[in-house]
Structure 1
Amino acid sequence: MSPFLRDENGHVAMTDGEKDWLVIVTKEALKAISIPPLADQQRLISHLPSFIEIALFKLEHGRAGEEDTIWIQTDDIQDWRQARTQG
């Protein structure tokens, strides 16, 4: 399934090798990933590798949502960036 926008949020299907997940990227997170702040299909697709990496980061830290979903919010982007600069 290709990434898509629905209700202002991005939706991305992914797997961690064991389980299938639906990654939901909030409108605010789409805007926060880079400048200028945009929340559109192009932004979702162009930053897809980063959103997948953030989702895997959340899984590694036990921060997945219910019903096989992983929500990515602005704070998750900040946490991921901070971890990358420290590691």
Structure 2
Amino acid sequence: MKQISKRKRQAEMQEATEIRLCEPAPFIYFENGQIAVTDGSSVWLVIVTCEAMKATASPPEKSLRRLVRYAEFYRDLAAANIRRGEDLDGKVWVRESDVLAAKSSLGLDREHRSHLRERV
């Protein structure tokens, strides 16, 4: 029965349901960043690993500032993971491999990574 409801939720998600940021505000808990996202009926806790935050832009850092600045980027990665059914018990992880794959698909190789440098 749980599998059926998960499949139903995945089908509903694929109907172009918008995933958006919601409360609580982004925060750092131990080594990882956390943000909340919703589709209007469900809420997921997105756990952004320390390594994912460091891989997002130069210079590599794990900070609340970076988590907030790139919250929409992490939301989009989490939404893709949710659509693939990679959420578990209301949690979805954004890992370094997700960030690197997204940067690669955007064509952000070494010579273009400077565009992701944070502005002070």
Q: TM-score, normalised by structure 1?
A: 0.86
- 1:40 shift after superposition: 0.4
Sequence identity percentage: 32
Match of 2:97 in 1: 75
Q: Does 1:46 align with 2:78?
A: no
User: CA separation in 1, counterparts of 2:102 and 2:90?
Assistant: 20
Count how many residue pairs are aligned between Structure 1 and Structure 2: 84
- AA in 2 matched with 1:78: L
SS at match of 1:2: strand
Asked if structure 1 preserves the Cα contact closer than 8 Å seen for 2:55 and 2:100, the reply is: no
Give the alignment's Cα RMSD to 1 decimal.
1.5
Structure 1 unaligned runs (5+)?
none
Q: TM-score, normalised by structure 2?
A: 0.64
Match of 2:28 in 1: 5
- 1:80 shift after superposition: 2.9
Structure 2 unaligned runs (5+)?
1-23, 108-120
Q: Which of structures 1 and 2 has the bigger CA Rg? A: 2
